[in-house]
Amino acid sequence: MKPARAIRILSLLTVVVLASCITQCKGDPKKNVKVVVNETFLKAPEGFSVQEIGVDLGAVRHLTVAKNGDIYANRSVLKDGKSVVMLRDKDNDGTIDEQKDFAEIPGTGILAKGKYLYASSNSGVHRYALSDDHEIIDTDNPEKIVEGLIDMGRDNAKPFTIDDNGNLYVTIGSWNDACRNNEAEAGMIPCTILDSAGGIWKFKANELDQTYVDGTRYATGLKNAVGITWNHQTNSLFATDHGRGGFSNFYPDLYSQKQNDELPAETFYEIKENDNAGWPSTYYDHQKNKRVLAPEYGGDGDKESAEKFLEPVVAFPAHLGPNDVLFYRGSMFPEKYKNGAFIAFHNQSKEIKKGFFVAFVPFKNGKPDGDWEIFLDNFAGFDLANPTDDDTLKHRPCGLAEGPDGALYVCDDFGGSIFKVTY
């Protein structure tokens, strides 16, 4: 798949970031800002501009933009003791002139919706009330919506989304790559992890102090669906799932190292209640375009499962790490992007020798329509197909958000930047 023709954008960009204003600003905030001149090396289709509007922000995972234009990002690791960062362009001149940091509960998910800013930790979801001007009323006392979700330290992020009927959907990823007994070759039968993880759970967004018993398992068989969103056009849930690994490590007689590098697919699903996406007993092979029985459950690398599971709407190359998905609803971008899906890929694929990019999947009438393409590239900062010893990774795209004006925002949990894409 060839990306759209890319161009070097904004070779000299002035980025305004706040140097000393952390929890609140006193006096003129612009007296406290630091101006950073930066060369933007990201590549986008012709006609698009990219601005690096935030730098050195820490491990910013997912982000959201409130109706007043305030940008919020959730950190997976505390920075200066705080987990959430807010950026504000007070005079609408295109540069950030105020930064506030608050909260002490690191996590991944964050969403401004209605009268609240919702954020997740690694074990639950909480919220902050917003004023009529869409500003947080009290940053010190969040309300707990869901708590006590399992956290085993690996793939423990709790990304979430909310539909228009007040339902909250939370991903609970599996800490065991293939549901093996003590990481041995045999798989657990049945996989007891699926009782509390490896799927998406449904709760009420406006009820406090919920636990597992208050929710329902909306969908199962998803190893780690970090990208999750509600599609308002189709009125349905969509999610990207991370594929498992370790084929040649445990089964060298069945899989080569090359197959280990290129399997299984990273998958993108439209999900209905009670759907089963087939993990851990199966995986999707994008090279053969079929669902294959996992070796832990009697597979040989080609045998299909007798049981039918949810099929992906798109299957991507292995190990790309899809970490967020956003359906574009704005009017700033050309018509081809309307209602299509942007997906942030957090890793790289040896198969296509590409990675660390934002892809675009065109949609028509609620279904994928045509091949996916690379939309925003070169986050790594060097040629992944021909790396040198001096190359060092610069950014890993992780979260996506759309602004009130239709601009696309991308955050990076490795370099700590937030980028704004306009047309």
Q: In CATH, what number is assigned to the domain containing residue 374? A: 2.120.10.30
Flag whether 38 is in a domain: yes
What is residue 308's predicted lDDT score, i.e. its pLDDT? 95
Flag whether 20 is in a domain: yes
> Would you tell me how many other CB atoms lie within 10 Å of the CB of residue 299?
19
Flag whether 121 is in a domain: yes
Please give the residue range of the domain that contains residue 391: 6-282+313-422
What is residue 27's predicted lDDT score, i.e. its pLDDT? 37
Structural domain count of the chain: 1
This prediction has a pTM of 0.91
Flag whether 305 is in a domain: no
Q: How far apart are CA 333 and CA 331, in angstroms?
A: 6
Q: How far apart are CA 141 and CA 363, in angstroms?
A: 41
pLDDT at 283 over 50: yes
Closest listed residue to residue 421, CA positions, set 45, 37, 59: 45
Its sign, for the CA torsion 207, 213, 219, 225, is positive
Flag whether 289 is in a domain: no
User: What pLDDT band is residue 26 in, cutting at 50, 70 and 90?
Assistant: very low
Flag whether 287 is in a domain: no
Q: What is the mean pLDDT of the chain?
A: 91
Highest mean pLDDT among 37-46, 182-191, 336-345: 336-345
**Cβ atoms of 237 and 270 closer than 8 Å:** yes
**What average pLDDT score do residues 50-54 get?**
94
Identify the weakest region by mean pLDDT among 5-9, 173-177, 241-245, 290-294.
5-9
Flag whether 290 is in a domain: no
Dump pLDDT digits (tens) for 118-168. Answer: 999 999 999 999 999 999 999 999 999 999 999 999 999 999 999 999 999
Percent of the chain with pLDDT over 70: 90
Amino acid residing at 190: P
Residues 6+ apart with CB under 8 A from 195: none
Flag whether 265 is in a domain: yes
